[in-house]
């Protein structure tokens, strides 16, 4: 099973949020334990705490990019720059495909409002092959292509 399929399955069948599905799937490939990855990424769904900011799938992917390429010494300019470059590349590819990279901009839903979740369900965003499902799949595939 591909990593993009694993991530969408985690999102669709288990109820984990987009950021968790992406980070846990990519993170496992990089040696982070699934349970730890799920906890780290838990607050990033719905555009960071359901506030509509940067898409949770994109946030999860950027966390994975940091895990693979990030710096752990402040003097490591190469790793610092590589991480920023790859995160920017991911964001640009998502913007090219979806028009923007924020949850609110992509879904056209305000999750801070009580009716936001209801509207998302009515529009089928979280269903198999729904908008968020496809965005998770695309995000994982884009990151894997960047890593080849």
Res 54: pLDDT: 97
Using CA atoms, how far apart are residues 45 and 60, in angstroms rounded to an integer? 9
pLDDT, the chain, mean: 95
Give me 85's structure tokens.
Answer: 């470059």
In total, the chain counts a number of residues equal to 148
Using CA atoms, how far apart are residues 142 and 84, in angstroms rounded to an integer? 16
Number of domains in the chain: 1
Residue 105 domain-assigned? yes
| pLDDT of 96 strictly over 90 | yes
Residue 93 domain-assigned? yes
Using CA atoms, how far apart are residues 10 and 140, in angstroms rounded to an integer? 13
Say if CB 20 and CB 60 are below 8 A apart.
yes
Residue ranges making up the domain that contains 115: 3-143
Say if CB 57 and CB 103 are below 8 A apart.
no
pLDDT tens, residue by residue, 14-58 = 889 999 999 999 999 999 999 999 999 999 999 999 999 999 999
Residue 148 domain-assigned? no
Q: In sequence order, which ranges of the chain are alpha helices (DSSP H)? A: 3-14, 18-29, 34-41, 56-69, 77-98, 103-107, 115-122, 131-147
Residue 41 domain-assigned? yes
Residue 35 domain-assigned? yes
Res 28: pLDDT: 95
């Amino acid at each position: 099973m591909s990593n993009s399929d694993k991530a969408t399955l985690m999102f669709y069948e288990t109820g984990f949020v987009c950021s968790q599905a992406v980070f846990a799937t990519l993170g496992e490939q990089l040696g982070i334990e699934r349970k730890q990855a799920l906890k780290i990424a838990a607050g990033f769904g719905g555009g960071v705490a359901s506030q509509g900011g940067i898409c949770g799938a994109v946030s999860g992917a950027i966390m994975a990019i940091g895990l693979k390429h990030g710096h752990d010494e402040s003097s490591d300019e190469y790793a610092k720059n590589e991480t920023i470059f790859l995160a920017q590349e991911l964001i640009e590819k998502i913007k090219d495909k979806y028009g923007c990279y924020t949850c609110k901009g992509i879904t056209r839903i305000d999750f801070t409002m009580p009716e936001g979740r209801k509207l998302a369900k009515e529009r089928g965003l979280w269903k198999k092959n729904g908008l968020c499902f496809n965005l998770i799949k695309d995000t994982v595939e884009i990151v894997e292509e960047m890593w080849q």
